[in-house]
């Protein structure tokens, strides 16, 4: 079978790696991929990197692709899956309608309320005046969110009313383009965060192990928010029974809610949860795997993973083999460029004195290969080192000791990823 993965991050690199374990997968194309996927067994990067949907679809047809997996949220929100299905391709990833789960916070909040899915109280406003009036009425600091996709930069968790006002003005200043046409004001809630995931075929779902990521740039959860500096799975914050309960409370009602809207949701439902003193609440939905949670999760997938994605994409999850999970602990640490997240320095040569194996993986993200066959940094998050072990201490020790064999100028990583589950 021939698979094409859309995207260029560590997430897509790790999906390619997990799929390649399956004997029936003969070729994996990553479009556009990165410096890691370019050197990967069974893997070919498709260049030129074209954002043009028609060109990608033509390539899929020319290469007789059996399954397309769309990694990032932007092409999903833009309807790439719809166009591909219209062209007769089999796709894992929701259409434009389902992708609103992530692409419009107002839409997804409404879906949660309609389906009794626990979430923070919220109000939405279409103008600055309306938003400031809501804030005045409640007279307490509220969390302010741009409605649309803003690459994690559209959310301000405010300590004061003044900060909430500033955040509202900032969003309506036009800085987020159409993603800032509406604003969501949310009650501030507290508690540890954990992410849960389901693979869906439109009707049914399969739940994956929960994961925890680390959004802040610096140790001790300090510094600015990033795309994610590391992750681990399974998250120990929720046990097997909790996961079953959350499936009933959040994942199944979400899929049912989508179905009620006539949305045939094929792809990942990612629910970011906060475990508050009054129970778990959904903070956000994503319509794809998280990055870097995906890198921590993929090495835990049994080789059936590829068959399960095929079955989901065909709407036949019941025909899939049972998805098994490696019971080990998986640790992922991201190495970032100097200046990330504001202005990452690029073009640095990377020295990698490590080989991937069955319990250690190097997943590339912002890397490229230059004309001398050197691997060069080309983005903020450069690569991640992922390791598995029988305990989190062992997994993190293995990941950190190997990360230290990788070098590039300005390389930065957190030393305390997984502090929740390690003895540090
Ligand atoms: P991402 O960075 O995953 O793209 P996003 O832009 O979709 O995130 P959210 O996940 O909604 O934004 O929020 C980002 C972070 O802000 C959350 O992980 C959480 O830490 C914090 N946050 C969001 N909503 C609330 C809330 N109601 N109360 C307290 N903290 C919140």
Q: Whose CA is nearest to atom 4 of ligand 1?
A: 152
Least Cα distance to 25 among 310, 235, 306 occurs for: 306
Which residues sit opposite 286 in a β-bridge? 270
Q: Whose CA is nearest to atom 11 of ligand 1?
A: 284
**Per-residue pLDDT at 412:** 98
Token pair 């959350």 in the structure block, residue: 246
> Which three-class secondary structure state does DSSP give residue 330?
strand
Report the separation in Å between the CA atom of 283 and the middle of ligand 1, taken as the mean of its atom positions: 6
Residue 49 has pLDDT above 70, yes or no: no
Instruction: Indicate which atom in ligand 1 lies nearest the CA of residue 227.
Output: 2
**Per-residue pLDDT at 222:** 96
Angle, to 10 degrees, between the axis of helix 161-170 and the axis of helix 128-138? 170
Mean pLDDT throughout 19-44? 90
Q: What H or E segment, with its residue span, contains residue 312?
A: helix 305-313
**Per-residue pLDDT at 27:** 96
Mean pLDDT throughout 62-91? 97
Interface TM-score (ipTM) > 0.90: yes
Q: What percent of the chain is modeled with pLDDT above 70? A: 99
Report the separation in Å between the CA atom of 225 and the middle of ligand 1, taken as the mean of its atom positions: 10
**Per-residue pLDDT at 40:** 78
> pLDDT per residue over 127-186, tens digit each?
999 999 999 999 999 999 999 998 878 999 999 999 999 999 999 998 898 999 999 999
* Ligand 1 contacts CB of residue 216 (under 6 A): no
Mean pLDDT throughout 4-12? 96
> pLDDT per residue over 230-247, tens digit each?
999 999 999 999 999 999
Residue 102 burial (CB count, 10 A): 22
Least Cα distance to 335 among 380, 298, 397, 297 occurs for: 380
Cβ-based burial of 47 (10 A; exposed 0-12, middle 13-18, buried ≥19): exposed
> pLDDT per residue over 188-234, tens digit each?
999 999 999 999 999 999 999 999 999 999 999 999 999 999 999 99
The best mutation among 105, 144, 157 to test binding of ligand 1, ranked by most ligand atoms within 8 Å of the C-beta, falls on: 157
* Ligand 1 contacts CB of residue 189 (under 6 A): yes
* Ligand 1 contacts CB of residue 227 (under 6 A): no
* Ligand 1 contacts CB of residue 223 (under 6 A): no
* Ligand 1 contacts CB of residue 149 (under 6 A): no
> Quick one: pLDDT band at residue 48, thresholds 50, 70, 90?
low
Cα–Cα distance, 97 to 265 (Å, whole number): 9
> Quick one: pLDDT band at residue 41, thresholds 50, 70, 90?
confident
Cα–Cα distance, 374 to 382 (Å, whole number): 14
Which residues sit opposite 205 in a β-bridge? 200
> pLDDT per residue over 93-130, tens digit each?
999 999 999 999 999 999 999 999 999 999 999 999 99
**Per-residue pLDDT at 206:** 98
Where do the domains of the chain lie, and which CATH numbers do they carry?
2-95 (3.40.50.20), 121-186 (3.30.1490.20)
CB proximity list for 87: less than 8 A, separation 6 or greater: 57, 60, 61
């Amino acid at each position: 079978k021939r698979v094409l993965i859309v995207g260029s991050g560590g997430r897509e690199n790790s999906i390619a790696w997990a799929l390649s374990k399956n004997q029936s997968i003969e070729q994996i194309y990553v479009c556009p991929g990165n410096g890691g996927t370019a050197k990967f067994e069974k893997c070919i990067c498709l260049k030129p990197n074209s954002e043009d949907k028609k060109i990608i679809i033509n390539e899929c047809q020319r290469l007789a692709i059996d399954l397309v997996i769309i990694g990032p949220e932007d092409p999903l929100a833009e309807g790439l899956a719809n166009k591909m299905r219209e062209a007769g391709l089999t796709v894992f990833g929701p259409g434009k309608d389902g992708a609103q789960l992530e692409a419009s916070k107002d839409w997804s909040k409404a879906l949660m309320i309609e389906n009794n899915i626990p979430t923070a109280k919220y109000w939405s406003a279409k103008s600055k005046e309306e938003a400031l009036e809501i804030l005045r009425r409640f007279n307490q600091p509220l969390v302010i969110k741009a409605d649309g996709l803003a690459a994690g930069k559209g959310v301000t968790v405010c300590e004061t009313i003044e900060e909430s006002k500033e955040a509202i003005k900032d969003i309506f200043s036009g800085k987020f383009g159409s993603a800032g046409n509406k604003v969501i004001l949310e009650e501030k809630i507290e508690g540890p965060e954990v992410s849960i995931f389901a693979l869906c075929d439109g009707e049914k779902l399969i739940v994956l192990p929960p994961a925890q990521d680390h959004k802040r740039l610096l140790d001790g959860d300090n510094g600015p928010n990033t795309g994610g500096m590391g992750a681990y799975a399974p998250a120990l914050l929720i046990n097997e029974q909790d996961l079953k309960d959350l499936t009933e409370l959040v994942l199944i009602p979400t899929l049912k809610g989508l179905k009620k809207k006539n949305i045939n949701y094929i792809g990942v439902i990612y629910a970011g949860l906060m475990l508050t003193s009054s129970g778990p609440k959904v903070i956000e939905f994503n319509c794809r795997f998280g990055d870097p949670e995906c890198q921590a999760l993929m090495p835990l997938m049994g080789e059936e993973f590829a068959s399960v994605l095929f079955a989901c994409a065909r709407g036949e999850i019941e025909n899939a083999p049972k998805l098994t999970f490696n019971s080990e602990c998986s640790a992922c640490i991201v190495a970032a460029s100097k200046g990330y997240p504001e202005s990452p320095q690029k073009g640095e040569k990377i020295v990698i004195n490590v080989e991937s194996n069955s319990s250690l993986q190097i997943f590339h993200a912002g890397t490229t290969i230059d004309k001398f066959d050197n691997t060069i940094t080309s983005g903020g998050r450069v690569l991640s080192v992922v390791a598995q072990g029988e305990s989190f201490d062992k997994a993190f020790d293995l990941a950190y000791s190997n990360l230290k064999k990788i070098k590039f100028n300005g390389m930065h990583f957190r030393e305390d990823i997984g502090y929740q589950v390690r003895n540090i």
